[in-house]
Homo-oligomer: A and B are copies of this chain.
């Protein structure tokens, strides 16, 4: 019996979309107002899902208190109220699109969660735009 358990979290951050290999004109052409050099920002909503067997003693796939702690330590403490381009090393050369942020978050969580558990994350950049990544 494989069950998926999911937990929501959120963080607020500033970012801009920008490819440093391009001219400013091309950045503006491709990324539009998202490339504003003064930054804009979002309330990111994060859903972390882990799939695995139910432990017969606890009835848990994974203790949600433990998952919450991992999310807080690995993600919220790192991303919340930050400027992603300026303050997160990963995005010094990587464009902080929702897709790339999702991959970075997945990688950070993957190393902290039991490998018997399949990990998927969903990241809402706005209530209308979101991305999902499972490591495939």
Contact = CB atoms under 8 A, between A and B. Distances in A.
A114 interface: no
What size tier do the contact residues of chain A reach? Answer: 35 or more
Count identical subunits in the complex: 6
Instruction: Specify which of A43, A128, A130 lies most central, judged by the most chain B CB atoms within 10 Å of its CB.
Output: A43
B3 A60 contact: no
B10 A126 contact: yes
Given A19-B57, A58-B95, A128-B8, A103 B3 contact: yes
Interface residues of chain A: helix, strand, loop or mixed (majority): mixed
Nearest to A44: B43
Interface string A32-63: 11101011111100000100001001111101
